[in-house]
Amino acid sequence: MDNFNYYAPTQVVFGRETENKTGEVALKYGKKALLVYGKGSVIKSGLLDRVKRSLEKAGVEYEEFGGAKPNPTLAHAEEGIKAALEAGVDIIIGIGGGSAIDTAKAIAHGTANKDEKLWDIWTKKVPLTKSLPVGAVLTMPAAGSEMSDSAVLTNEEIGKKAGINTDFNRCRFAIMNPELGMTLPKKQLSAGVTDIMMHTMERYFIPGSDCDMTDEIAEGLLRCVIKNGERVVNDPSDYHAMAEVFWASSLSHNNLTECGRGKDFSVHKLGHALSARYDVTHGASLAAVWGAWAMELYKDALPRFARFARNVWNINEEDDEMAARHGIEKTVSFFKKIGMPVSLKELEVSATEEDIKALSLDATMNDTVKLSRIRPLNAAMVERIYQKAAE
């Protein structure tokens, strides 16, 4: 087991009607909030009004900032920074899924560092040394942003999607009412289930470190999400299943399943290049390339893939290679079963050879960064994965 530093400071308020506690929790961190949300579902559902009443009851003032996009953009976050500075807020609250929460994080960083360009902060040209506190009212299980140290933005002007990892991204609190996920469309739930699994698998398929406790947590989380993820996709009103998936969403991305091993996130790099160029759903982009990625690399981490097959999918196969291949097939079949695309064609991306080459350069930052801790992947190898995914 490698050395690690585990930090998870987020206060989680979990269960039915917990959005009504937003005000009393937020008051610990600020007296005037900017409420960041998407395109109106939180208004139609009445959630925004319930949050506002809770803030008013606690004596927390607020301003609203809607319009967060499924792939959060730099330009929209910059508008939010202006709104936050004009209103003089001291806390940012994201209401929604990962898009709203990531946007809230970006606004918090930019507001606290008003003399710096947000993209310079995001790309680490300028060090991030301070931020405003961020809270989350979660409406869908997926990104895990409510407890993670990460956030992602798309710079539409240059067609690049980038993430930033910092403890300043850690939400001070996360309100989680699983009932809020019950009105989500099947496609969003399926993409969310996929993202949760990916956050765990991106930390799991790393050879060379013995981490029995971390492996047991990761494998249990994956089994739980496979079981309950299919249930919520088929019946979103199933509170027990939705609660399990909500909690798994947070645990999959709060660094717990990387303790002693670290993380990889090469599949995310492949998916980010796709969503930046084609504006496709994040979870769907991951499902579309995972099978091709796994088939490229499984022989280089055969014991890990074989263990995954046996402990997650209960595959009874003594031969490691046969077990590994069956585990990959079961995973891809599961994505397909819950309605996710498992190829670029199913993702509705018609990529030419030139497009695939461009994607591989995007994912590897013009072949200056090698992906994967299993085996370093240069642009040519990444191109081969995209080509396989396009078949």
Instruction: Convert the pLDDT of each residue in 164-187 to its tens digit.
Output: 999 999 999 999 999 999 999 999
Q: Which amino acid is at 234?
A: N
Give the rounded percent of residues in the chain with a pLDDT score beyond 90: 93
Task: Indicate whether 6 belongs to any domain.
Answer: no
The four Cα atoms 75, 77, 82, 84 give a dihedral, to 10 degrees, of 170
Q: Are residues 176 and 193 in the same domain?
A: no
Q: Which of 137, 152, 180 is the last residue of a domain?
A: 180
Q: Are residues 223 and 358 in the same domain?
A: yes
HSE-up (13 A, CA, CB side) for residue 224 = 20
CATH number at residue 219: 1.20.1090.10
Q: Name beta bridge partners: 11.
A: 173
Instruction: Check whether 40 has a pLDDT greater than 90.
Output: no
In this structure, the number of other CB atoms found within 10 A of the CB of residue 260 comes to 16
Instruction: Convert the pLDDT of each residue in 249-264 to its tens digit.
Output: 999 999 999 999 999 9
Cα distance between residue 173 and residue 29, in whole Å: 9
Instruction: Convert the pLDDT of each residue in 106-142 to its tens digit.
Output: 999 999 999 999 999 999 999 999 999 999 999 999 9
Task: Indicate whether 95 belongs to any domain.
Answer: yes
Task: Indicate whether 288 belongs to any domain.
Answer: yes
Cα distance between residue 192 and residue 198, in whole Å: 10
Pinpoint the alpha helices (H) of the chain.
22-26, 41-44, 47-58, 74-87, 98-112, 118-122, 186-204, 212-234, 239-252, 266-278, 282-297, 302-312, 320-337, 353-363, 379-390
Q: Does the reported pTM lie above 0.85?
A: yes
State the pLDDT at residue 56.
98
Q: Tell me which residue of 11, 36, 373 sits closest to 207, measured CA to CA.
A: 373
Q: Are residues 156 and 190 in the same domain?
A: no
Task: Indicate whether 5 belongs to any domain.
Answer: no
Instruction: Check whether 159 has a pLDDT greater than 90.
Output: no
State the pLDDT at residue 354.
95
pLDDT confidence tier of residue 39, bands split at 50, 70 and 90 = confident
Q: Are residues 130 and 239 in the same domain?
A: no
Q: Are residues 163 and 201 in the same domain?
A: no
Q: In what order do the strands lie in the sheet with 134-138?
A: 11-14, 173-176, 134-138, 91-96, 32-36, 61-65
The CA–CA distances, whole Å, from 338 to 220, 325, 331 equal 20, 20, 11
Domain that holds residue 255: 186-390
Instruction: Check whether 69 has a pLDDT greater than 90.
Output: no
- Determine the 3-state secondary structure of 80 from DSSP: helix
Average pLDDT, the chain: 96
- Domains: count for the chain: 2
State the pLDDT at residue 161.
87
State the pLDDT at residue 361.
96
pLDDT confidence tier of residue 71, bands split at 50, 70 and 90 = confident
Cα distance between residue 68 and residue 151, in whole Å: 14
Q: Which residue has the higher pLDDT, 60 or 391?
A: 60
Instruction: Convert the pLDDT of each residue in 208-244 to its tens digit.
Output: 888 999 999 999 999 999 999 999 999 999 999 999 9
pLDDT confidence tier of residue 14, bands split at 50, 70 and 90 = very high
Q: Which of 23-27, 155-159, 188-192, 352-356 has the lowest mean pLDDT?
A: 155-159
Q: Is there a contact between 94 and 23 (Cβ–Cβ < 8 Å)? A: no
Give the rounded percent of residues in the chain with a pLDDT score beyond 70: 100
